[in-house]
Amino acid sequence: MAQEPSSNRIAAHCALIIDGRRVENAACVIEIEDEAQTVGFLSAPSGTLEAAQTAKRIQIDVDYAKILEIRLLQVSGTVALVIVSKHDL
């Protein structure tokens, strides 16, 4: 079950959308800050994250139906450091 953005965090199971292809079984934690871009972590199977590294468009869909555009900054195994544009939050 997703946690609505309360004070400054989204923590939820989510779907990763890679160039329009939906992949379930991911999880994300995003710290919402006052800056133009927000950083977070995404956990998904390593093959999924490898495919996302070469994708043109990457999104996450959290349980309460908010779809966020992301960019992968760094991938290590099953965890990725991501950046979310502030306008998506």
**Three-state DSSP class for residue 52:** helix
In a domain, 4, yes or no: no
User: Over its length of 89 residues, how does the chain's per-residue pLDDT go in tens digits?
Assistant: 554 444 578 888 999 999 999 999 899 998 877 766 789 999 999 999 999 999 999 999 987 667 889 999 999 999 999 998 766 66
pTM higher than the cut 0.85: no
How far apart are alpha carbons 53 and 31 in whole angstroms? 22
- For residues 73 and 83, is the Cβ–Cβ distance under 8 A? yes
Task: Name residues whose C-beta falls within 8 Å of residue 45's C-beta, 6 or more positions apart in sequence.
Answer: 25, 78
Distances from the Cα of 9 to the Cα of 12, 13, 41, 46, 50, angstroms: 10, 13, 11, 24, 26
Supply the pLDDT for residue 26: 95
User: In the chain, how many domains are there?
Assistant: 1
In a domain, 57, yes or no: yes
Q: What is the DSSP letter of 48?
A: H
What CATH number is attached to the domain comprising 84? 2.40.10
Supply the pLDDT for residue 5: 42
In a domain, 36, yes or no: yes
Supply the pLDDT for residue 88: 64
In a domain, 81, yes or no: yes
Q: What share of the chain is helix, strand, coil (3-state, %, to 5)?
A: 10, 55, 30
In a domain, 48, yes or no: yes
